[in-house]
Chains A and B, each alone.
Chain A
Amino acid sequence: MRKGRRILAMIAPLASLLTQHAGPDRNRTGLPGIGQPARACADPGAASLSTDLVAVAAGDRQAFARLFAHFAPRVKAYMLKLGMPAQRAEDLAQDTLLSVWRKASLYDPAKAEAATWVFTIARNLRIDALRRERHPEVSDDELLEHEDDRPPADELLDGDRRARRLRGALAALTPEQAEVVRLSFFADLAHPAIAERLDVPLGTVKSRLRRAMAKIRKALGDDDR
């Protein structure tokens, strides 16, 4: 094992990763590029993506087309980062978007942003495809006990504001914290493997992740644990 092989070079500079999105303005008319490879359109805001996802649950194909244009190239990029060949990455991007269509009725805009929800679908399909494994999960309606004592949905930050604060928190991570976060999400590594890859003690990786999550938690207003 090539221990200590640093991959800092893999980690793109934070500034380019954490670019702010332009805002919620975008062209909502017409279907983008049917019959053509879809192009990314102007970045929509988190709230309008959520609205589209809710519309997809009612069978709205124009909303689906907008989600496709926005997410398919990003899911492909996610799969590529995790080492998938281009064709496989596109297959999985398609599977992810098909799953978005099929499961749209399960999406609750009060609980998660559209990107969060799409991420979990892509993650699970990636695990299934890459490792032939499942990702055991807990669904909200199957909880054993304890009603969540979270604030009701209308007290949560609205989607766009939440997304902005989350980006602000990401930008506030130190380079070391950002590195372990990115290795967690884009290198298919759990913390012990990250420690080995970076050749730092496991406790260091754990505390970087803990501090990173503390910043995220604070930004999202959940800093009480």
Chain B
Amino acid sequence: MKKNLRRVLALVMLVSMIAAFSLLCGASAAKEETVTINVYNWGQYISDGTDGYIDVNKAFTEETGIQVNYITFDSNETMYTKLKTGGASYDVIFPSDYMIARLIKEGMLLPLNYDNIPNAQLVMPAYRGMAHDPEDTYSVPYTWGGTGIIYNTKFVDEADVGSWDLLWNEKYKGKILMFDNPRDAFGVAQFRLGYDVNTTDPQELQACADLLLQQKPLVQDYVMDQIYDKMEHEEAWIGVYYAGDFIMMQAENENLNFCYPKEGFNLFVDSMCIPTSCQNKDAAEAYINFLCRPDICGENMEYLGYSVPIEGATDYMDPEAAANPIAYPDEKTLERGYIYLNLPAETSQLMDSLWLKVKTSGANKTLLIGIIGLVVVIAVCAFFIIRKNKKKAKRKSLYTK
């Protein structure tokens, strides 16, 4: 009866099997010839050929024959978790300063062989031997930049801008976006309270958590790269994010503006590292070297909007982009920038658990509703069960009669 059905099903399966098989063959044939490296980078963090800019990964493959399997993460913590969980091998990763220190401390990075990375000599002196990796054993800088407040000039009063207070301004309730990772979120609170961003004092951290809780009713959402859509479409008016990303957003919506708050802001350096799970170290180093080449770096950063740490790369950039005051703030602004350091394990654990509390709080009001609901459900259950038992009993009594 279902002959035809069977035939269709068989056909569908056959077609997909053939497709699958041919792909498998193709993939394995390709594997024999070429090396593939797994590059694990932040989302929206490489020029990928949009709008006529360079496609960095493609250019690398064309030049070296090494295939790039490009995967993205949305925060340092996500990347750390992936590495820690294991089960997957990555060849090049792009952690930020404090995370590099943490990875070094936990023995999760491999020392680099600089013979394979000659372009690393072009790294500007300011980005060498930084606190997180004093000997530059494990990392080569990729970009640097600052965090600040992005706001929509159409909706936000210029008089309110200038301080982190803007993120706590009742006027913009429901239109504020906040960082969705503990370190950056606590950093904002620390700047606003005037604390050291690398504090290990539990009470100060608690105060920060309280401040974040106080902000929570005003926050539209905790986001990372989702901020792009929300700010560009004016769904949100105020957000806190990285300067380079702002430059990309501004290209889409010219009402957006940026400010480095007066209390201070985070300066970060994102570097390229090789984790211990790496399987093609030479190829990974070739990739790092490629990204350090001034022409590649320049074209890449022109698209990204992040700031260049490589000598001579700005020559390959549009002069206007290379002089952007947001990507390259003046000395006076830079004085307000602070770099995150790695925190002791207890402190970061405390921060994680406080952050979880911030994110999950606010359920108390619904707790009451929840309990009421459960009681109702249980009451209904009990009612049915009792009724059924009664019926059964009735039936039984009928039978026995």
- Decide if A and B are genuine partners: no
